[in-house]
Structure 1
Amino acid sequence: MRILRTFLIVVIISVGFIGFKWYKYVTNADSPYDEVGIELNSRMPGPINKWGCDKLHETFGNVLPPYGCQGGSDGRQWL
């Protein structure tokens, strides 16, 4: 029982840390090309990824979209 509780605590802390890093990337990034942020956002489920891409597009609309936020056949359009 103690091992299960420890495992759950580690999982909850990990999810919270990853979620915070992702949220920080999509809302407060200095650049849309942060490698860790791109990787986290591209692995999020569809609606969460779309929301993250929309937030990045609001901030960095004039640049090429990062991986995971590319739409169109040439990859130069935002989702």
Structure 2
Amino acid sequence: MQKIFQVVCVVLIAAAVMFGGRWYMYVAQAQSPYDEVGIALNGYMPGPLRNWGCHKLQQRFPGQLPPYGCAGADGRSWR
């Protein structure tokens, strides 16, 4: 039973690192704010991380329309 628990923990930690790392690469180093995988991962992040990611994207791409999930009510302004 302990071995199964260890395997489950390792798989969960590995998945968190893999998806969290991919999300961070999108927020911090993407060539475009419209990367579909990055947008989807940003949508799954908890509120404070999602807001931080949107703010970081806004700083990196100030003259572009916000991606889905970072847009205000009108769809054209950053929230």
The TM tier, using the shorter chain, reads over 0.9
- Greater fraction of residues in strand: 1
Gaps of 5+ in 2: none
Residue number in structure 2 paired with 1:8: 9
CA RMSD of aligned residues (A): 0.7
Structure 1 residue ranges without an equivalent (≥5): none
Q: Distance in 1 between matches of 2:45 and 2:70?
A: 11
For normalisation by structure 1, the TM-score amounts to 0.94
Provide the identity percentage.
51
* Length, aligned pairs only: 78
TM-score by length of 2: 0.94
SS at match of 1:71: coil
Whichever residue aligns with residue 78 of structure 1, its letter is W
Query: Offset at 1:27?
Result: 0.4
What amino acid is the match of 1:61? P
Runs of 4+ in 1 over 3 A off after TM superposition: none
Q: Which residue of 2 aligns with 1:47?
A: 48
Deviations 1:31-74 (A, max 9, x none): 000000000111211111110001100111111100110113x2
The amino acid of 1:4's aligned partner reads F
